Structure 1
Amino acid sequence: MDREELLNATPEDSGSPQKKQESPLVSLEKDLAFYADAIKEVGIEIMVEGISAHPIFIAHQHQVSIGEMILNKEELNTDWSIQASTLEEFVEKGIITKEKKEPFLKVYKRPEDYMCVFVVVPEGANFIYYPYHKSKK
């Protein structure tokens, strides 16, 4: 599933005639744009310090037990918190199985240009790649 599909996804209709609820992923895109410089800085630091060549950021609205908190939604008055992790931690915790590591690396985008984000929502979780600076055409 790519970023466009995730952002255009809408919650299942609850059957009530109320106005359609906006997907939480719309607010995620807004927060990722707001956080982009800080996330890029952390990603570069992870690579330069030799921690990992494959930083992964976790976007969530609840508690998750992977990575280290770098941007707290409560402190920043945003909708999403971001934690920093690595491919190695994802493999160690079994989120990415050893068998899936190579296929994952084949689709992993250049970390200097894209943040790899593991989006956690109540319905599940998925990876997206978000460009640090969207071109303004």
Structure 2
Amino acid sequence: MDREELLSATPEGSGAPKKQESPLVSLEKDLEFYSDAIKEVAIEIMVEGISAHPIFIAHQHQVSIGEMILNKEELNTDWTIQASTLEEFVEKGIISKEKKDPFLKVYKKPEDFMCVFVIVPEGANFIYYPYKGFKK
């Protein structure tokens, strides 16, 4: 799912369209703000040989995967970001072993895009967000 789809998504069965702003609008703003820091961590994960496939978790509550790198409370933003890896996602069963290869086929170049696992009350999904300065 592309970020455009997520940003324009409306809750199913909501009847009349509501003027409530999607939380993903604030996520896009935060990802733009966090871009350089996230890219730095992604490169560090790859250079240190931890993983060739960094994954970042964006959430507004508590999650028990990855390591917190950007705290919304400390930074006065809407989203907290945690750093993880494909290997941890497979180990914890978020991505099943059978889905690992199909996931890798769509995984975008980590030097250009951050892979973000977005967790909202309605569920969770992966998005790829370009780092600042990257032209699609």
Q: Same fold (TM over 0.5)?
A: yes
Q: Which position in structure 2 is the counterpart of 1:71?
A: 70
Q: Which position in structure 1 is the counterpart of 2:3?
A: 3
Per the TM alignment, residue 10 of structure 1 is displaced from its structure 2 partner at its CA by 2.9
Give distance in 1, aligned partners of 2:48 and 2:60.
29
1:38 aligned partner, one-letter code: A
- Asked if 1:115 is matched to 2:89, the reply is no
Per the TM alignment, residue 124 of structure 1 is displaced from its structure 2 partner at its CA by 0.4
Give distance in 1, aligned partners of 2:134 and 2:113.
13
2:10 aligned partner, one-letter code: T
Per the TM alignment, residue 13 of structure 1 is displaced from its structure 2 partner at its CA by 7.6
Q: After TM superposition, list the pairs within 5 Å mapping 1:55-66 onto structure 2.
A: 55-66=54-65
Count of residues in correspondence between the two structures: 135
- Asked if 1:23 is matched to 2:22, the reply is yes
- Asked if 1:37 is matched to 2:29, the reply is no
- The runs of 4+ residues in structure 1 deviating greater than 6 Å are 13-17
Structure 1 gap ranges (5+): none
Q: Which position in structure 2 is the counterpart of 1:101?
A: 100
Per the TM alignment, residue 4 of structure 1 is displaced from its structure 2 partner at its CA by 0.7
Per the TM alignment, residue 11 of structure 1 is displaced from its structure 2 partner at its CA by 3.9
Give distance in 2, aligned partners of 1:85 and 1:8.
27
- Asked if 1:49 is matched to 2:44, the reply is no
* Deviations 1:9-64 (CA, angstroms, capped at 9, x unpaired): 234686799x6110000000000000000000000000000000000000000011
Aligned partner of residue 111 in structure 1, secondary structure: coil
Aligned partner of residue 85 in structure 1, secondary structure: strand
Identity %: 89
CA distance 1:23–1:50, change in 2 (3 Å): same
* Contact 1:10 1:21 (8 Å CA) reproduced: no
Root-mean-square deviation (CA, aligned residues, Å) is 1.9
TM-score using structure 2 length: 0.93
Per the TM alignment, residue 7 of structure 1 is displaced from its structure 2 partner at its CA by 1.0
